[in-house]
Amino acid sequence: MDKKGYSFSNLYNEYDRVMRLGDIEQAYVLLEAYLKQLDDPNAWMIYGQILLCLGHELAAKSIFRNCYEHAASIHIADVIHADCEATIAFVDDSRKLLYVAIPKCASTTVKNYFVRAIYSKDPYESSHDHLNNMMRVVKFREFNKKYSDYYKFTVVRPAQDRISSYFYGNILKGALKNNSWGLDALRGITTKPSLSQFLGDFFSYRKVFIDVRHHTDPINAYLPEKTSLDAIYSINQIDEVRSLIEDMYHVKLEASRLMIGAKATEDVHFSSEMVTFYERERQYIEL
């Protein structure tokens, strides 16, 4: 490990320590002091996440936009918030295949099929970890240029169904708390809300928690124009996706359904602001 890598490792350990105490202001001071000494894109990305959590949205967006292509590890939520017309996609150059995975749209199941087809093993629900080497940033303009002869597809699902799945399958099971340093609350917002609390403070949750942004970003933020994709499957067509992968890799795959959440006990109702927020994604849903 070089000197810069060693410095970042020490920084991250200290950042993790103060965040486990819920002290985001101290984390801010820590990152700012570090960045005055070293121009490190990995640290800038964390700093951007802190700024967003503290309400400095424009500054965070500027950081994400300038640093996401240079950081060693980036989160799709940060790429989306950079608003730079790019996404992160699974790309298999040998098969000329490109898949944009959208959370709560059977992405774990689809990636599981890819792992089984490529590596002949079943990773169950850890399929994401097995495909990191095949995930890359793709600019929207590249869909019709660099990847013009690739088969490009995604799987979609209505926003209310995605949010219901996220709440009952993740938040209700403690995932938001687990993904937030085990804190009961951050910035005064509970990590174990009721459905009405979550929906009532939806945009505050999106601002503070990257896990919420990741699972609730609108579909249009992930995708180029519809005409740049060869296929948009609904979640009810997952068997067609399995057949596609079987044909592309010359394998036979047993059907599976992974990351199935708990049964919803209440319906998700959108506020007028949420309806507006998800309006543009309807072009991909109403096939």
Domain ranges for the chain: 3-74, 89-160+216-285
Q: For residue 174, which phi and psi values (nearest 5 degrees)?
A: 90, 10
The pLDDT tens digits along the chain (287 residues) read 566 677 899 999 999 999 999 999 999 999 999 999 999 999 999 999 999 999 999 999 999 999 999 998 889 999 999 999 999 999 999 999 999 999 999 999 999 999 999 999 887 666 777 898 999 999 999 999 999 999 999 999 999 999 999 999 999 999 999 999 999 999 999 999 999 999 999 999 999 999 999 999 999 999 999 999 999 999 999 999 999 999 999 999 999 876 666 678 899 999 999 999 999 999 999 75
Calpha distance 63→162 (Å, rounded) = 28
Instruction: Provide φ and ψ at 138, rounded to 5°.
Output: -125, 125
* pTM of the predicted structure, to 2 decimals: 0.92
Per-residue tokens: 251: 């394998």
Q: Record the tokens describing residue 117, joined without a space.
A: 């087809």
Residue type, 103: P
- Collapsing DSSP to helix, strand or coil, 229 comes out as coil
Residues 6+ apart with CB under 8 A from 209: 176, 179, 180, 186, 189, 191
User: Beta strand pairing status for 97-100 and 189-190?
Assistant: unpaired
State the pairing for strand pair 185-186/189-190.
antiparallel
Beta pairing, strands 189-190 & 151-156: unpaired
**Which residue(s) pair with 196 in the sheet?**
none
Place of tokens 């609350």: 185
CB atoms within 10 A of CB 67: 21
Question: Which one is the CATH code of 3-74: 1.10.760, 1.10.10, 1.25.40, 3.30.450?
Answer: 1.25.40
